[in-house]
Amino acid sequence: MLRVLLISLSVVAIARAELCKPDAQNAFKVRLSIKTALGDNAYAWDANEEYLFKAMVAFSMRRYSSKRTTQISNVLLCNVTGRVSFWFVVTDSSKNVTTVPGSEIEAAIRMNRNRINSAFLLSDKTLQFLKITSTLSPPVEPSTPAWLIVFGVVLCLIVAGIIFLVVGGIRQHKKKNKESAERESLEEKDEVTVTAENGIACESLDLKAGHINGVFAADDERFTSL
């Protein structure tokens, strides 16, 4: 009986070894850049980290499909290197000698990518699933609502228009006042003039009031008396 059990375990181990190998069907390669991401705070990749990775993959599979009862033992790792890269597959929990389709694994990883990255303090660039495309970052929403930005722009345009009208009105008013002052100055110059004729100084003539020159007025009085 013990012999049969040992043989069965050996067969399962051999089968699992065949399931998890580079470029095997439904197998995925993972590469981690822990030193690059964390620098002096980088942690060593050991059996505990491998256990955490298996747990996160099992969690992702169970969360992706309620029909899956994936256990940590169903996640197989192989070809682990010192620069922290390895391959993994997920076996079917009901049969244990076949792997879960790669499309399901990829969908589960993509669905829970942020949770996996957070568990290892890494990002899509430093924790790479080489055959699984990176998840898109959620769109960044602006801190200021769009309607408020539009309202601010419209308000600024209105204020600028009002300022332009006020300044333009003030300039126009000043221009009219200046023209009026110049016109009045010219009229005053025309009204008051000083001339000299035959060596006799004549009083200024008021063109509007009809001012009479005193010299001619005296002659008129003399001839009238005669």
Given a contact cutoff of 8 angstroms between Cβ atoms, the answer to whether 36 and 101 are in contact is no
Domain locations in the chain as residue ranges: 12-129, 144-189, 192-226
99: exposed, middle or buried (Cβ count in 10 Å: 0-12, 13-18, 19+): buried
CA–CA separation, 134 and 115 (whole Å): 13
When pLDDT is cut at 50, 70 and 90, the band that residue 171 belongs to is confident
pLDDT tens sequence across 72-91: 999 999 999 998 999 999 99
Given a contact cutoff of 8 angstroms between Cβ atoms, the answer to whether 18 and 115 are in contact is no
Least confident range from 30-34, 44-48, 53-57, 174-178: namely 174-178
Residue 5 confidence (pLDDT): 42
